[in-house]
Amino acid sequence: MIMPAGRQLLLPADPRFIGLSLVLALLLHMLLGLWGQDWVPDVLAIAMVFWTVHQPRKVGLVLAFVMGLMVDVHESALLGQNALSYVVLCGLATATQRRMLWFPLGEQALQILPLFIAASVVEWLIRLLVHDAWPSWSMLLAPALQAVLWPLIGAMLLAPQRRAFERDDIRPL
């Protein structure tokens, strides 16, 4: 793939950093889940989609399913509800991965919003099928907040991969 003009060359992503960021996102998701509000953004979903788009060989559907099962167990939800939602989300992210990488993070947020809405709709349908409860309309606010947080979290996750701006004898690129 030819790199768009003006984009900075990134270092390879460290698998330990990817794992650490996903564990921290899971812990933050668990902390935010203590509020019990439907409108709280799913930070783990943002991190999963980000790494699925930027490192598809290291983060994929299996990891999304496992993380979803962990969230299901933590929330005492129907086993597989969040797992299915994360798999659908990461599957859609994989399908749009090549196109999204051409845009900066701010413009990616507009393209990622329908994916977050689709994941939210999957959760709605599962709740309706099992007669758990009628989903609240505040659940539609969470995908919008996730899309707003996308550039911020994306910049934080890309920070360790950025190269230094000044060239010297030690760093030839």
User: What is the structure's pLDDT at 6?
Assistant: 66
Residue 135 lies in a domain: yes
Residue 3 lies in a domain: no
Q: Answer whether 0.75 is exceeded by the pTM.
A: yes
Residue 117 lies in a domain: yes
The residue range of the domain holding 143 is 15-160
Residue 166 lies in a domain: no
Of 45, 55, 61, 70, residue with least CA distance to 17: 55
Residue 103 lies in a domain: yes
What residues have CB less than 8 Å from 43, skipping those under 6 apart?
A: 25, 28, 29, 32, 149, 153
pLDDT band (50, 70, 90) for residue 143: very high
Query: Could you give the percent of the chain with pLDDT greater than 90?
Result: 58
Residue 168 lies in a domain: no
